[in-house]
Chains A and B, each alone.
Chain A
Amino acid sequence: MRDAITLQTRAGHWLVALLVLGGLVFAVVGFATGDTFYLRLATEALIFGGLALSVDILLGYTGLLSLGQALYFGLGAYVSALALIAWQSFWAAIGASLAAALVCGLAGGLIANRVRGVYFALITFGMAQVLAKAVYNTRALGASDGLIGVPVLDINLGLFSVSSASPVGFFLFVLAVTVLFYVLAAYLLDTPFGRLLIALKANENRVLFIGYRTSTLRLGSYLVAAVIATLSGALYPMLRGFASPELLFFSTSGNAVITVILGGVGTLVGALYGSVLLTIVKSVVGSWTEHHLIVIGLIFMAVVVLLPKGLMGLVQPALVSVLGRGSRR
């Protein structure tokens, strides 16, 4: 018999497989109809799904509410845009973003992890605001206009290459990268390190008393989340051809938190489904009215009240019980 956390993780894997399947069908339909708009929109949903995934690692597993994850997403977008303008190389952009993520994640983690709870939320919010304002006022980075003129890119993957201008190709590429982030995060959270994070969320003192330095654990989780958020952000300018300061604003961080809560906190896969759902809602409602935030606010409230475990709270328990029956047999 498998334990509850393992079964839940397995259920998550099946739901990601379903998402991939849906993505492939969508890509075929999009390719056949020659669509660009919806493929681009779906690509963006997946990129923001990566950001939400990073929020879920912190919120759902470690119990840390970050209100400034946009810091890393925006950092990735800007560093990647700068690298792409300078070298026109995908791998240079990813390498530079990864280096920036490690340096800034470590620095940010050391600062933010000095405090807990509401103070952690406020410090992460503050750090993101500082960077957002600095970028907004820096002419070399395009100031309020953002960095424009990111060239179209051929992503060389060894056996074949994908053009960032190809709606289907780049969509499939981002789908693969997002799934890779999911697999990495799910693997990491299934190790003893992940179990310690779950223990940490329940009671930090108890983890200390059995002999772990909890500050290192929290820093580790923060760093993993920072890397995933930054690398997700690094994909953004490849899709849109620019990086804007809005990516660093609170609205981006706040949206990521809403995404995770809609999808289901502590499920990982919920972050991805939440992002797809939120993007669809924004797009559909946005085509009727510019006040789409009101609708999103209402949906958010309804989910918090009626579905405290988010969308995944509806689907996952059923899947868990099916998988549980299977493993007992």
Chain B
Amino acid sequence: MLQIRDIHVHYGRSHILQGLSLSAAPGEVIGIFGRNGVGKTTLLKTIAGWLQPTSGTITIDGTAIHHLSSHRIARLGIGFVPEDRRIFPHLTVQENLTLGFLQVPGRSRAQSRMALDEVYAKFPRLKERRSQPGMTLSGGEQQMLAMARVMIGDARLLLIDEPSEGLAPIIVAELYAIIRTMKENGRTVLLVEQNITNALAVSDRFVAIERGQIVHAGTAASESDKQQLMEAIAI
């Protein structure tokens, strides 16, 4: 579904992504690893339309998206869960979620209600806190809310940037369970993560990025591929 061909991305004069290509099939989870500053987040931001590649193409089911603005890309079903504080702090949990489905074209009120109920069933903690402002949630709950929001927006492709950063292990386990459900529902996930062990447990494939290029790719099931990954990113 996702095809990235030979993209180059610059921040001013710095050449961040240097001819990166990657493809993903429906329902596939791809772990993206690498040291800080190698271009992992840049890759996600470029797919989400925050940054425009200077050359190369990105297509979703055959539609070129690399020249589209962020909101159009989001409407094509691409959900970005960025690493920073991820939610709207002054809006309630429910409002944060309903903003997520307002933009899904052609969805009836009843369908939206169902989508909301479905998300609440998956995230009972969010249901409990539905009238609370987003800023009163803990870091882990905020991250859940951000993921729930892209799910409710019917995203087919999720771009998740370091979901476990700074969170307690028990919350991280819950988040990964959610990622697993997303995969089972046929959603494609690109997962940028420092915690390689956790990420590999849900990934089908992985790539290692070094200086803006993919230096190693493999399947998560293969022990020798994993060994090479550790060597490639020198951990």
Contacts and interface: CB of A to CB of B under 8 A. Distances in A.
Interface size class of B (residues with CB under 8 A): 20 to 34
Interface stretch (B83-91, B176-184, B205-213): B83-91
B88 A198 contact: yes
Contacts of B122: none
B204 to A, nearest CB: 25
A212 B103 contact: yes
A198 B91 contact: yes
Given A192-B98, A211-B71, A206 B48 contact: no
A201 B89 CA distance: 10
B23 interface: no
Interface size class of A (residues with CB under 8 A): 20 to 34
B228 interface: no
A202 B90 contact: yes
A206 B84 CA distance: 10
B71 A214 contact: yes
B92 interface: yes
Contacts of A211: 71, 74-75, 103-104, 153
Contacts of B104: 211
Given A202-B89, A206-B82, A195 B99 contact: yes
Contacts of B98: 192, 195
A209 B133 contact: no
Given A3-B92, A206-B82, A209-B82, A199 B99 contact: yes
Contacts of A205: 50, 70, 82
A203 interface: yes
A192 B102 CA distance: 8
Interface string A181-206: 00000000000100110110111011
A3 B74 contact: no
Contacts of A133: none
Contacts of B42: none
A208 B87 CA distance: 13
B95 interface: yes
A1 B131 CA distance: 7
A213 B69 CA distance: 9
Given A208-B74, A210-B149, A214-B71, A5 B92 contact: yes
Interface of A: 1-5, 192, 195-196, 198-199, 201-203, 205-214
21 contacts: A3-B95, A3-B131, A4-B90, A4-B133, A5-B91, A5-B95, A192-B99, A198-B88, A199-B88, A203-B88, A206-B86, A208-B70, A208-B71, A209-B48, A209-B74, A209-B82, A210-B100, A211-B104, A212-B71, A213-B69, A213-B71
Q: Considering the complex of A and B, which 10 residue pairs feature the smallest CB-CB distances, nearest first?
A: A211-B74, A211-B103, A208-B70, A3-B92, A199-B88, A3-B131, A209-B80, A211-B75, A213-B71, A202-B88
Interface of B: 48-50, 69-71, 74-75, 79-80, 82, 86-92, 94-95, 98-100, 102-104, 131-133, 149-150, 153
